[in-house]
Structure 1
Amino acid sequence: MLRKALGNRLAPEAATFLDMLADDGVMEFPYSPPGLATRLEGKAAIAQHLEGLADMIAFDRMGEPVIHATADPDVTIVEFEGFGRGVTTGESYDQRYISVIRTHAGRIVHYRDYWNPLVVLRALRGSAVVDALCEGGSDHG
């Protein structure tokens, strides 16, 4: 999906996501709920995070990306969807993402990923936890 979205901004030999990353690449998750990473620095930290993610969410497929060009040729905005389920809960994981990706010299140097934290919590903790959180916040009379 990223190869399609970023095209010639990536080095031709970069086949996997980790291949696409610069060694000092950064990933940020501004809406990450407490207990989950908000910033990862370096390819090794990102690889470790992705390995842990596989134990939490089983992805079935990714949707077609919508690519938005920007005034900066090194920055691309990509909208896409991910579908799967929480590994321990079996809860559905139907997530929409907006990613702001900066590339340099054929590699991703910065990847800022925006997504709905409630979808993550539902997949990881279950519907009852998310429903209780949402109901608890509705007493603003």
Structure 2
Amino acid sequence: MPEPRTPHQLLERSQELFLRKDLDAFADLFAEDGTHELPFAPPGVPAYLRGREPIRRYLTSITSTPLEIKEFRNQVVHDTADPEVIIAEYEAAGVVTATGRPYSVRYVQLLRARAGEIVTWRDYWSPLDGVRALGLRGLLPVIVQTIRARIARGRQATSGASVFPASSTMPGT
């Protein structure tokens, strides 16, 4: 695919990269000071990231998620009065790798693009859909990892270093 330039092309390219789990390349679609927002982020998942490299660290941390996306379906893309902005509604459908069970997570995303780069990616996904997909057994590793990350952040905060919030097993990027 040629270099994406429009919001529609960036959305299409991002979905191709998600299906391949190439989230490092997805981060390359963001402007240097772009933002990735997750307004409904559960505990342990950052609600706001600014900058391509923090976004890259977050996105690449979720490649080990036990939810493997197989397809995007029921997609509707809405143009807005602002040519830089589109709003996409769709479902990500796939399998829980630990159990083989199918799952579906609903998304509404606002994408703002400028000069062929994503400047804003606002991701309204349903954490409840993720919980349903993983089930109680699947959530236990998420809970343990969240606790460990919080402990590590507490230790790093006292030493003056920064720790990126870990959430490698939660869906919703």
TM-score (norm 1): 0.71
Question: Which amino acid is 1:46 matched to?
Answer: I
In structure 2, stretches of 5+ residues that fail to align are 18-24, 140-173
Spell out, residue by residue over 1:5-62, the C-alpha distance to the aligned partner (whole angstroms, 9 max, x if none): 613899xxxx842232111111111111112121121111222222221212322222
- Residue 107 (str. 1) matches residue 117 (str. 2): yes
CA drift at 1:78: 0.9
- Residue 79 (str. 1) matches residue 74 (str. 2): no
Cα 1:8–1:114, aligned 2, differ >3 Å: closer, same or farther? closer
- Counterpart contact for 2:36–2:120, Cα < 8 Å: yes
- C-alpha separation in 1, matches of 2:115 and 2:136: 43
Greater per-residue helix proportion: 2
Of stretches 20-29 and 85-94 in structure 1, the one that deviates more from structure 2 is 85-94
Identity %: 37
Q: What is the aligned-residue RMSD (CA, Å)? A: 3.0
- C-alpha separation in 2, matches of 1:99 and 1:80: 9
TM-score (norm 2): 0.59
CA drift at 1:81: 1.4
- Counterpart contact for 2:31–2:118, Cα < 8 Å: yes
Greater per-residue strand proportion: 1
Cα 1:17–1:110, aligned 2, differ >3 Å: closer, same or farther? same
1:34 alignment partner, one of 39, 43, 51:
43
- C-alpha separation in 2, matches of 1:23 and 1:109: 8
